[in-house]
Amino acid sequence: MPTYEYLCESCGFKFETFQKMTDEPLKKCPKCRGKLRKLISGGGGLLFKGSGFYTTDYRSESYKAKEKQEKKSYSEVKDKEVVPKPKVKSSD
């Protein structure tokens, strides 16, 4: 029996369910009765591409932290690439 994955477009609730091919696809979220999106099971990372179901609020904190980290590592790399300034010769 194939496994189907559903994602609620309303509350983001994701779950798997066993259904026969002949069964009617679920349409309502068991939690909030919102609209369900049927995901293709067995797929890879394509599932989430461009779906935009994550609100920015949902992950804003981790997103910000990640952004910070990236900026930090970027500046670290940049620092290393900086050509050392020639020593200024003090005049006699």
Q: Interface residues with Zn ion (CB under 5 A)? A: 8, 10-11, 13, 29, 31-32, 34
Please identify, using beta-carbon distances, which residue of 48 and 74 lies nearer to Zn ion.
48
Please identify, using beta-carbon distances, which residue of 13 and 53 lies nearer to Zn ion.
13
Please identify, using beta-carbon distances, which residue of 59 and 72 lies nearer to Zn ion.
59
- Smallest distance from the beta carbon of 35 to Zn ion, in angstroms? 8
Concatenated DSSP letters of 25-86: PP-B-TTT--BEEEEPTT--GGGGTTT--S-TTTTHHHHHHHHHHHHHHHHHHHHHHSPPPP
